Structures are given as structure tokens and as C-alpha cells.
Structure 1
Amino acid sequence: MQVPVLQLDAFATSRFAGNPAAVVVLPAFPDDAVLQAVAAANALPETAFVVPSGDRYRLRWFTPTVEVPLCGHATLAAGAVVCERLEPGRRRVVFDTASGPLTVDREGAGYRIDLPVRTVRPVPLQPALAAALGVTPLETFVDGGNHLALLPRAADVRALAPDLAAIARLDRTGVVVTAAGDGEHDFVSRYFAPAKGIPEDPVTGGAHCALVPFWAARTGRDTFLAHQASPRGGELTCRLVGDRVHLHGACVLRREGSIEL
């Protein structure tokens, strides 16, 4: 059986920027082992698997090594595929996922995704976290599956060269680092998740589910222009709306074809 596969750069306005994702369109989900094998072969941070379901779609996400409960950039990419390839002209699509219904709306030259807030709580600094990062954070937090480390300056976030093997041994599967912005951006961040097969994620929608309420609580604001300072980099317009986070970004199609399952 041949099925469509498309590769897009999400949270980007030009190719080879932002975060790459594959979107595979299926009539039904095959065995998980097949989905994982396809994601491993794609060798991208995330592969989104989309299945039509009435006027909605079912959506699952896999890194090269594991299935994850939420992925923002691959949801953005899946929305672009639905609105530009599967149903050209469609303005809104709802995906049923492990994180509940997620909506993607066309907005200007890009798309807005609606994601659930992740609760952030302060925790004492773990010496192993500081050692893995190679710096001592000002404050540390957790958002469920991730550590979140606040650094003194945006320049510290950009210059960070963590020990990825040590990060993979921590008691949570990912580490978000952040600092207040030093230019046009309100805050900057990076995200490391080697335990999930992603040494550094280029632009992470899911991390902003925690970063947006985190910075909202510190600033009293609800709207931000954020920059994820990975080597590829990406810019996100973010808004806190109750217990939801709205992220706006564009997608650029890079490759289109099919695979045999």
C-alpha cells in the first residue's frame, strides 16, 4: 500500500529553517511497530501520522525512537497539509489526539495552533542538572516530563553546550532552558531531549505550552514574541488564553512523495 508523505519546515518562512516534520496520511493506523519504523526511517524530530475521521482527523506523533503525547510543530505541519493538500482552501481543522482535540486555524500567511497549558512548578536545583548543562541556573522548575531552567541572560542560552549524554540520564526526558530576551524577542529558549531521540529540537511547540504561562506569571503579560535559539532557529508569536496556549507560525513544504507500507 502506498501512502502520501510530505516533509515541511514548521515555524519557518523559508526552507531549511524552523523545525522539520514529516506528515504521513493513512487510511487507518497500522501496528505501532510500523509507525515507529517509518518515523525512524524519516530521521526527523517528529513524524505526524494523520487519519481522516469524519470532518476531523486523528493524529499521532513519533520521534525516531518513541511515541510522544504532544508535538506542536508537527501539528502545525499536519494542519498545513490538510488545508493546502488534502482539502485546499479549508481554514480550520480539528485533530483528535492523546492530548485532546487540537485546532489549527489559517491566520494571515501562516497558521495558529491551540494547545493545552502545561503547569510549571518550582523545584530545588538538582546538581546533576547543573552539571549536565555546564551552568548553574538562577531557578529550576518542572512541567511534567521536562526540567525547565532559567538562565541569567539570553546570551547564556545561545552559548549553552550541554552534555547530552548526561541530560539523557536525568530523571525527566527533556530539558528546557530559557531567559528573558535581549532584543525584539520577549524570551528565548532551547530544548534538549536525547532520551527521546532528539538531541536538540529546533523549534518546540510543546515546550512553549510551559514557557508561555511561565513568562506570563513573571511579567503579567499574555502575548509574546519568542525565539528558540537552536542552530536552525525559529520565531513564534505566543498568547496565553485561559488554560490554552496559542502559537502562530508558518510552514514551508520541502518534499512530497509516497512510501510503501
Structure 2
Amino acid sequence: MNIPIYQIDAFANKTFQGNPAAVCLLDSWLPEPTMQKIAAENAIAETAFLKPLNDGYEIRWFTPEIEIDLCGHATLASAHVIARHINPALSSMTFYSQSGTLTVTVEGELLTMNFPSRPPAPSDIPQLIVDALQIQPTEILRSRDYVLVFESEEVIKNMNPDVAMLNQINTDPGGICVTAPGSDVDFVSRFFTPQAQIFEDPVTGSAHCSLIPYWSKRLSKKHMRATQLSERKGELMCKDLGERVSISGKAITYLQGTITL
């Protein structure tokens, strides 16, 4: 069996920036253990699997360890593959996922995803997490992931979590998203995942499902610009749509090939 595969740098203007994602095109679903093994073999944050359905595609996302319910950068990467390599005439596309129907529109090089809004609510947090971050947040919130708010971009940029300490957490905390007002953009963030093969995610589209409603309310703005301050960095254009959010960015093809099973 031959499976077309692409590796895309999502939320990037050029290669070696943004967040890499693999995209595999299927005619029918593979067994879940096989998809999990492919994701582990790819050894990047997420691998998206696409299967045609009606007027769009079913989409599933796998990290090297588990299947997840929503991934922004791998959805952006999938839309890039379809728009640049499969059907350049498309101006929009639909993905059917565990998190509902997701649409992506194409305007030149810009891809805009319509995702569910996941506003974070005040939360408690294990003291171990705060100790590992070595600085007290001004707010502690949670939706799918923890959202920890700090005073400035410099705090986020210079944060150096104790990875060994965070990996001692004996329950799954989800992701830990740290965020603050930006100096040149509306807000900045970083995203850590304890106990995962890839500890810091370069650009986390799904985290912005929580960051956008939070910062929209705090800043009294609907349209915002954001930067994820990982080593690779990523630029995102964001809009609060109420029960939905839009997340826009660019993507670059890094490689394309064939998986042989």
C-alpha cells in the first residue's frame, strides 16, 4: 500500500519556521494502531489523516503518542495540501472531525480556519506546575488546557520550565498555555505538554480557541494579532466570532513523498 504524505510548516512564511505537521491522504481509514505507528514514525507534533467524504474530508489527528480531538496547525497544513497540491481551484473546504465541522477559506496565501470557541474559566492548578514554571501567574484558567496569564511578553519569552519536575505530574494535565500582552502584537503565548515526546509545541492553533475569547474580552477587540514565542515562532491572525473563532495563517510545503506499507 502506498500513502501520499506531505510535511508542511504551518503558521509560517518560510521553511523551518512555524509548526511542522504531516498530512496523509487515505482512500479509507487504516486501523488505528497503524495510524498511531505512522504518527510515531513521523516524530513531529501531529500527523493528520484525511479521507474524502461527500463535499469535503474526514480528518483525524495523532500525536506520536495518542489521537487528539482538535489540532489547529495540522488542519491548516491539511488545507494547504488540498489548496496547493490537490485542488488549487478551491476557495474553501470542509473538514469533519471529532470537534464538529471545521471550514477553511483560501485567500491567496492566507488560510483562515473557523473553529469552536472554548472560553477558559477560573481554575485551580497543581502547585507542582507553578513551582516548575518558577513564576506565579496573575490568572489561572482552564478549558481543555490550562491557560496561565502573566504580566508581560518578556516573562513568556524568558520562561524556562523545569521539564523534569513537570514530567512528575501523575495525572494528565493537558497542555499548559502561558500567555501575556504582546509588545508588537495583541498577545503572545507558549505551549507546554508534560510527559509528551515534544515538550514545547511550536505553534498551537487549538490553544487559540481559548486564547482568542479571553483576550477579546480583556482587550475589547474582535480582530487581533498573535505570536507564539517558541524557537520556531508562528504568526496568527485571530477573530472572535462569539461561539466560534477564526484563526488565519500561512503555510509552506517542506516535503512530499510516499509511505510504503
Q: Does 1:42 align with 2:42?
A: yes
* TM score, norm. by length of structure 2: 0.96
Q: How does 1:179-190 map to 2 (within 5 A)?
A: 179-182=180-183, 184-190=184-190
Unpaired runs of 5+ residues, structure 1, are: none
Residues 136-190 of structure 1: CA distance to partner in whole angstroms, max 9, x if unpaired? Answer: 111111113x1111111110000011122333416512100000011x2111000
Partner of 1:248 in structure 2? Answer: 248
User: Is 1:163–2:151 an aligned residue pair?
Assistant: no
Q: Which amino acid aligns with 1:176?
A: C
Structure 1 counterpart of 2:40, one-letter code = A
Separation in structure 1 between the aligned mates of residue 231 and residue 119 of structure 2, nearest angstrom: 28
1:137: which partner in 2? 137
- Cα distance, 1:125 vs. partner? 5.1
Q: What code does the residue aligned with 2:95 have?
A: F
Give 2:116's aligned residue. Answer: 116
Mapped contact 1:66–1:196 kept (Cα < 8 A)? no
1:227-250: CA deviation from partner (whole Å, max 9, x where unpaired): 000000001000011211101101
Q: Distance in 2 between matches of 1:166 and 1:47?
A: 28
1:24-51 deviation digits (Å, cap 9, x = unpaired):
0011111110000000000111100000
Partners of 1:149 and 1:175 within 8 A in 2:
yes
Q: Structure 1 counterpart of 2:198, which letter? A: I
Residue 147 of structure 2 corresponds to which residue in structure 1? 148
- Among all aligned residue pairs of Structure 1 and Structure 2, give the percentage whose two residues are the same amino acid: 40
Tell me the residue number matched to 1:65. 65
* Runs of 4+ that moved beyond 4 A: none
**Cα offset for 1:96?**
0.3
Counterpart amino acid of 1:162? P
Cα deviation for residue 132 of structure 1 reads: 1.6
TM-score scaled by length of structure 1: 0.96
Match of 1:173 in 2: 174
C-alpha distance in structure 2 between counterparts of 1:207 and 1:257, whole Å: 30
Distance 1:244 1:91 in 2: 20
C-alpha distance in 1 between matches for 2:125 and 2:89: 49
How many residues are paired up? 259
